[in-house]
Chains A and B, each alone.
Chain A
């Protein structure tokens, strides 16, 4: 394991500890630490174990999977601006969630909305896999992704227009902004298997991503199975993005920012980029979530909004630099 991975793991652990100590409920440091080891009163233990830690786990998990998905997609498409949103998978996951809310299915069970999001991501994945099997190259995939995103966006707008009552409209807005507030261990338990499967698929594609540094044709001549790499990355990132949207709603830019920061530390190797990017994205989102919890504002800032406020300018900066480099 590289020093970078060890360092990021330590930072993650520190942030986990920190996130157990902060929140709206007034809980002293002593009470928090006591609750952590199973001491102290029941209320403190509930706040720590049922509210703060699952929330931290959700923030880190969502961040890590978005970072991994972003790094993998960037390697596949040889484009530092790629992320799950680019392929339209996040948009379709959000669409699935929105449809479930719109048709009032959300009331049946807490699991309906997450399942609908994974289903939506699966639908987009299916389109992408079919295109891949027909030999679509990276540019075609990007264009299909843009089409899927726009289409899902239009359908989401339609759902919002037709929303039968203001209650569900505010639900939609919450969903689209992204948040990990009030996540339970049950939410994590639903997402974790998907995270594991998606991560495994992406890691199997890692050597192929390195060969793709030299473009698709040269990579094929080097002995890399590019079609297999494409299917693994598209399938894996779709599952990762779907599960993340299901857990936290739409949170953008983390999947672009983290790999961009990590890249110089791994000599720009798209294979070695994967794990540190996941860890750093988890760290970023967990830190952002700690931040929105301690910011002294009337209504808690949505995590997705905080992520976009930080990530948006970085995205534009990378895009501008790329434009200059190719000019």
Chain B
């Protein structure tokens, strides 16, 4: 679905991603992990089309992404950013409806039946149906995160990019989020999710990409990608006798 080759990204003159390649296929659920500042968010932004590329090429279903209109691209890839501002005190349901924007930019009341169904289903999957009529700014941080997740799930796009979706979520909702993503992948969507919790990544994702200082250093199944060498040299941790992650050295 998404095939990116040789991506390089600069942020205000600073090189943040170097020669990164990402393959993401239908039905795949892939975790993108790495220490702070490794370039994970920048990589996601480049795939979402909101950060310019210094080098490299992104192909979406075989088509050069530069040839796609913004709307056509939004129909292929949906992105949940790390920073999620909501400028106005919209109803939670209206925030979710924005996920349908690429399909129908019309005002909320004029959403078609298919769009409304997608919004309802997404609210249900994100355990946010109860929050739908609430004013967004009256929701807690975790509740807001679930509404944002519903916005993403409501999208018509088959590929979903999520940047730290677990932040602000309690443990039950973290697990149910991962299960929801697994189900989405099983239904044919392609999922690329930035995670900080390596256990969560290993448990739910078929493949793990590890980034360090702008480079991809591993891209494999959980066991191989998170091998002791990577754990120690990239993350500075190791497994103790009980198998728990502890600080290395």
Contacts and interface: CB of A to CB of B under 8 A. Distances in A.
Given A211-B101, A217-B81, A223-B101, A269 B86 contact: no
Contact of A221 (B50, B90, B106, B108): B50
A222 B81 CA distance: 12
A217 B90 contact: no
Contacts of A78: 85, 87-88
A269 B74 contact: no
A207 B89 CA distance: 17
B86 A221 contact: no
A5 B99 CA distance: 27
Contacts of B107: 207, 210, 269, 271-272
B105 interface: yes
Given A223-B74, A269-B90, A214 B95 contact: yes
A223 B70 contact: yes
A211 B50 contact: no
Interface string A207-247: 10011111101101111110000000000000000000000
Interface residues of B, number: 36
B98 A222 contact: yes
Contacts of B84: 214-215, 218
A267 B70 contact: no
A6 to B, nearest CB: 15
B173 interface: no
Contacts of A221: 48-50, 74, 77-79, 81
B87 A213 contact: yes
B94 interface: yes
A212 B87 contact: yes
A317 B101 CA distance: 34
Contact of B90 (A220, A224, A267): A267
B86 A214 contact: yes
A158 to B, nearest CB: 38
B45 interface: yes
Contacts of A293: none
Given A221-B50, A223-B101, A225-B70, A214 B85 contact: yes
Contacts of A207: 101, 105-107
Interface string B46-65: 00111000000000000000
A174 B107 CA distance: 42
A252 interface: no
B15 interface: no
Contacts of A212: 87
Interface string B203-232: 000000000000000000000000000000
Q: Interface on chain A toward B: helix, strand, loop, or mixed SS?
A: loop
A268 B88 contact: yes
Interface string A305-327: 00000000000000000000000
B196 interface: no
Nearest to A212: B87
Nearest to A263: B88
A251 B208 CA distance: 60
A70 interface: no
B27 to A, nearest CB: 22
Given A207-B105, A269-B107, A220 B88 contact: no
A255 interface: no
Interface string A190-208: 0000000000000000010
B156 to A, nearest CB: 10
A272 B106 CA distance: 10
B83 A270 contact: no
Nearest to A79: B87
Contact of A213 (B79, B90, B99): B90
B73 interface: yes
Contacts of B77: 221
A222 B87 contact: no
Contact of A224 (B75, B83, B105): B105
A63 to B, nearest CB: 23
Interface of B: 45, 48-50, 69-75, 77-79, 81, 83-91, 94-95, 98-99, 101-102, 105-108, 135, 151
10 contacts: A78-B88, A207-B101, A210-B101, A214-B86, A214-B98, A223-B101, A267-B91, A269-B107, A270-B87, A271-B107
